[in-house]
Structure formats: structure tokens, C-alpha cells
A and B are shown apart, each in its own frame.
Chain A
């Protein structure tokens, strides 16, 4: 008989790879924890001396999970280099693509990456807490997750022509008119998609009660939040001001995305290639903020679509003021999925989506361009400087995972201190607690290959050190 062993380690469920180190004190209690990313940087270098028109395509290779966000930020930076406003049809196509991408990316994060922990339990033994086990236990739910992803990808394919790395958008607008014939196909997906997300919500909400310890101790801390904000106060993913709010719900600043670098800065961290971002006036680490689904729901006054608004109202009741529990990123993500489907439905009812012209033509009119949008994991900024011919002299990216970096570290540390507490000599953290460490990271759905601007995947390693810095033990997850 032919047998095959499929080793699915939990770390295979984070994009990219990372390392967590735990520092123990004399009593072998956990003093601190650090989340490192051990990948190379390099995309920014790679762009230098390349024509600005190529940036959307180069940038779409930064990340295989959210190419659309990079294409959009890059195209918008290109719009600014040309000095044009893309025609409404182009803007509407770009918005639709963004909705579809956030939907498919969240579906991957929730149904495939996080639901084994959520549905099978943190303490289930590893062989019983993976996608295969989930497929056995929850075939319908998983199938619905796969279908939701397909829906998102299909919309992107209809717009961009290719499922991954579509490059239909560039400086000035998009490549071609969106045929009205696609409307019916998209419309046909909507009822099933709405049903799937409602089922996910019905499953998740009662489950959260059984995760009280995790909700309270896996990254529950006050912080600033940052997201794109529209004038109407509705959830906004493409255009608008950048808003910073504190955990008391006070707006600290509203600024134009084109000037993000006046307000935001990044540290270079010594033990990781990934930088951590902070709000300049408060400095590091007080100015550290969170981005992504939780930040967006905290900052918006309303969703702007009926179903999502009902969920948002309920979500708001979980805290007085902004919700600070990292674990609730999962819930925020599912609510956003609902909102995305409603937005897609609205988009295809707008005749301008199918209109023309789709591109504003111009040549280079500025030497610096900045573009931003909401990516699935948070606000994304691209900033390019070009020479007189349009060759890049500098590219800067501020991506979601590096903006969440400090928060991820804090979540990991809080989790380690609360759940692992101490590691006796010769011992090792319990399997369930190691999993909680990873789950703390996974709340943020970090896409590590993107955040370090390099390709490649490797497993996560957990190491623990004594007060003298001596390595006491380690576990490599996924090194099968």
C-alpha cells in the first residue's frame, strides 16, 4: 500500500516566516518576548533606475496575497507623477478590485489560516488542528471559505484579466473599459457570498465566549489606530484623509496621505529586518499604532452598508470607545468581508463603473508621487521620487505589517507572559501555548514576505534565553 505523510505544521499557516524569542529571568519566568522577521529586504532597491510606469507591475510582485493593494497604491503614486485625476470609471474599477481583494484575502486569513485554532481549539493536538482536520470536521464551512475566495478572485480576474498579479491599472487610470456583460456573473455570486459570511459570523460570535482568556490576554492593550477616513465617516478603502485616533476614541490628527511622511516615521530595529512605524508627535514607542480591520472599524463612524452597519453597531458594544483586543481582529475581518460583498453589490449597480474614458493621458509632470489605499492588512503607502526622465531615484513603502510590528510584538509578549509564564529547566512551553503565541501573531494576519519586501517562506522558530542571554532551548515549527 502506498502511504504518504503530509506534515502540516502550524507555522505553515503564516505567510512568510518569523522567529519569536523569549527572555527568562532568574526564576525562569518570561520577562519579555520579541517577534523577529528573518528575511531580506530589497524591493525598494530593486525599483531604483526603473521607469515609473513599471512600478505597479513591480510592486504587484511584492506580495502574492495582496497584489491589488500594491498596484493601487503604485498607480495612485503614478497619477500624482502625471498630475492627473483618473476618470471616474477608472476609479470605480480600482475600488471594485480593492473590495474583491480584501474579500479574498480575509477569506484566506479567516477560513484557512485562523479557523483551525478558532474551531478546533488552541489546545487540540497539532495533528488535529490543521486544515485537513478542519476539512473533516467542518467541510461545509471550509468549502464556503474557498468559494468566497474564488468569488473575490473571479472579480479580480474579470477586471484585470489574470487572477494573480493583474496589471490592468497604471498611472492615469486603467487599461480598458469594464464590459457590462460581467455584471450578471458577479451579481449571481452575491446571495451565496452573503450567506457564507453570515454563517461564519453566526459561528464566530458565540465561539468568542469560549476564548475569553485569549481575548483578554492575547494582545489586549491601548494603542493608537490609523486608517483612511472619508468625509462621510463611512468605511473607506481607496481615497480620503488619514486619521489617527487614540484608544479613548479621540482624533489626534487628520492628514493628507501625500504628506504621510511628515506624520509617520519608522524605526530601524536591530534584531529584525522589519521596521516599526510610529506617529511622529508622540515618538517611539508611544506613537505606535495599529492598522487593518480593527483600526478601520474603530475609526469609521458607520460602515455605509446595511448589513455591515448592524454588525458594526454590535461590535461597538464590545468596548466603550475603540475595541483594543487584538483577538477581535478576527471578528473585524469577518464584518469587513460582509461589507466588501455589499460594496461589490453596490459597485456593479453604478453605471459609471462600465463607462469610458478609463485613463487620463499625460506625461511626467511631477518629481514625486505618493499613493495610498487600504490593503487587507492595513493602510499602505508608496512614495516615489523620479528624475527628469521618470526613472526612479527612490522608492519608499510603508506597509501594514511594519505599522503593526510593535503591536504584534506586544501581543506576543503579553501572550507569553500570561499563558507560558515560565519555562522550567529542561522543559518547553506546552504545545497549546506555543500555538497561542503564533495565534497572537496571526490575529494581525501578517504577510511577512510582504513586510520585508522579499519573497520566500520559512517556518517560525521559538527560542528562549536566560538572563545572561544564553540560549536555553528552542523549537522549530514546520522544519519537517
Chain B
């Protein structure tokens, strides 16, 4: 397998053939903000937070979708990029109902920590305060649409890893939302195996364990990488 050498933020980095800029950067310990990409799941390139500048290209590129190439010169942190990321996070915050202080993942939320990292101390847009619902019909899990940022991580984890495809997105634009089966209450779903992969992959408090005290839900989507590796190598812990 051929290996490329490229420059990210002034550092020489190697990438395997086919590897994305995001993966190469992460391997080298360079942090690029992201909300929808998860190692081991397909990348929809939806959140646009991982956009980077590539020398010689006049368009910004999503690091999760762009393959690393020999001699590439990538910049992940410029003031323009930072400003754009900040704007995106503010839009996400204004779009839903995010009250961190009472959220189940307060302190462990990827949206919250990204907002903090980008110094989002206020939102410049008028919040929409949409009237959204909470589905608590499942025996163990809850889905709070107020906190959903439509990153589709749960949809992909359910489809690509669990193989159940219980979850999907219905509607378009501002009416888009996560549904279970044919938009039935989750508790009525026949396809859901109750594995909980969606809950663990969700970057926000939208998917949560019922009865779990707030701020106690540490999530870690790293388990997906382990499952994939285990299936490939046929080694399970």
C-alpha cells in the first residue's frame, strides 16, 4: 500500500493510500473540529465543521471526505476557518433547544465542548425555540428532538454497524427529524434490537439512557472502531 506525505499546519504527516485528511490529521494528533464524522462509519460530510484550506485550491474542502494526496499543503486553523466554524456552531445552537445546564450530557457533549473551544459565548442569531417533542416510549432509551443536530450518526450506527436500520431522517429543511421505523414511537419499533449503539454514538444529549442522572452520561463513539476491528480480525475481547 502506498503512503503519501503531506503537510498539515506546517507539520509533515503521512497518510495511507485512500486515507482522508481528517484521518491523517487525527493519526498525527492534529485536532480538526467535527460533529458528524465518526471513525468506522460512512462520512456524510454534513456538518461542515471540518472544512480546511488546501494550497492551490480556491474552495474549502471537507477533511472527512477529501483524500490525502502527496505533497498537499493543508491548513486547518485560519481565522477565516475559525470564524466560519463559530458561525456553524451558533447556527446549530440557535436551531434547536439547547439548555446545557440541565442536559444529560452536560460536560460530555461534543457540541458543548466545540462551542467552548471556539469561544462561542453568545449566539448572534435569534434562537428559533422550535416546539419539538421527546420520545420516551422505548423501555431504556429516550430521544429528545430538542437537542438533535441531525448529524445522522445514530442513523449510520444503526444501519451500518447494527444492521437494524431502525432510525432514519424524515422531512426536509427545518422540518427534518430523526424517526424510528415508519415514524412510530420508538417503543413500538419491531426492528430495534435495543443494542444502544445509537445512544452511545450521539454527540449530544438527544439520545440518552432513561433514568440516567444528567451529566452522568459519558459517551464514546470509539466502540465503533473496536467493533469493526474485531469483525475484521475475528478477534473479540
The interface of chain A, by Cβ under 8 A from chain B, is 46, 49-51, 53-54, 56-58, 61, 71, 78, 82, 162, 165, 167-172, 175, 361, 363, 389-391
Contacts and interface: CB of A to CB of B under 8 A. Distances in A.
Interface string B204-229: 00000011111110000000000000
Nearest to A175: B216
A167 B137 contact: no
B126 interface: no
A389 B136 contact: yes
B43 interface: no
A151 B214 CA distance: 25
A162 B216 CA distance: 11
Nearest to B210: A53
Contacts of B134: 49-51, 391
A167 B213 contact: yes
Contact of A167 (B139, B142, B210, B214): B214
Contact of B216 (A167, A172, A389): A167
A53 B213 contact: yes
B213 A56 contact: yes
B102 interface: yes
Nearest to A74: B213
A172 B102 contact: no
Nearest to B209: A53
B79 to A, nearest CB: 34
A169 B216 CA distance: 10
B101 interface: yes
Nearest to A362: B211
A-B pairs, 9 with minimum CB distance: A57-B214, A170-B213, A167-B213, A389-B136, A58-B102, A53-B211, A167-B215, A390-B136, A167-B214
Determine chain B's interface SS by DSSP, over half rule.
Answer: loop
A57 B104 contact: yes
Task: Give the interface centre of A46, A57, A78 by most chain B CB atoms within 10 Å.
Answer: A57
6 contacts: A51-B144, A61-B101, A167-B213, A175-B213, A363-B139, A389-B135
Contacts of B103: 57
B127 to A, nearest CB: 16
Contact of B210 (A46, A165, A175, A390): A390
Nearest to A61: B101
B104 A54 contact: yes
A288 to B, nearest CB: 33
Given A51-B142, A54-B104, A57-B104, A168 B216 contact: yes
Contacts of A171: 211
Nearest to B214: A57
Nearest to A75: B213
B8 to A, nearest CB: 36
A176 to B, nearest CB: 9
A169 B213 contact: yes
Contacts, number: 62
Contacts of A169: 213
A385 to B, nearest CB: 15
Contacts of B212: 53, 170
Interface size class of B (residues with CB under 8 A): 20 to 34
B215 A391 contact: no
Contacts of A162: 107, 215
A156 to B, nearest CB: 14
A90 to B, nearest CB: 12
Interface in B8-51: none
B137 A389 contact: yes
Contacts of B216: 167-168, 170, 175
A123 B139 CA distance: 63
A168 B144 CA distance: 21
A61 B136 CA distance: 23
Contacts of B142: 51, 53
Contact of B215 (A57, A78, A390): A57
Contact of B214 (A56, A389, A391): A56
A57 B137 contact: no
Interface string B91-129: 000000000011110110000000000000000000000
Contact of B102 (A61, A175, A391): A61
Contact of A170 (B106, B139, B144, B211): B211
Contacts of B213: 53, 56-57, 71, 167-170, 175
A361 B215 CA distance: 19
A94 to B, nearest CB: 12
Nearest to B144: A51
A58 B144 CA distance: 15
Interface in B133-150: 134-137, 139, 142, 144
Nearest to B142: A51
A76 to B, nearest CB: 13
Contacts of A58: 102, 214
B214 A54 contact: yes
A165 B215 contact: yes
A165 B101 CA distance: 10
Task: Give the interface centre of B102, B103, B135 by most chain A CB atoms within 10 Å.
Answer: B102
Given A50-B102, A54-B214, A361-B211, 4 more contacts: A53-B212, A165-B215, A170-B211, A363-B139
Nearest to A386: B136
A136 B135 CA distance: 58
A51 B101 contact: no
A39 B195 CA distance: 46
A165 B142 CA distance: 23
A171 B134 CA distance: 19
A68 to B, nearest CB: 12
Contacts of B139: 363
B107 to A, nearest CB: 8
A375 B210 CA distance: 27
Contacts of B137: 389
A172 B140 CA distance: 14
A162 B218 CA distance: 14
Nearest to A361: B211
Contacts of A167: 213-216
A445 B210 CA distance: 36
A391 B135 CA distance: 9
A281 B139 CA distance: 43
A61 B102 CA distance: 8
A391 B101 CA distance: 19
B102 A57 contact: yes
A391 B136 contact: yes
A46 B103 CA distance: 13
B218 to A, nearest CB: 11
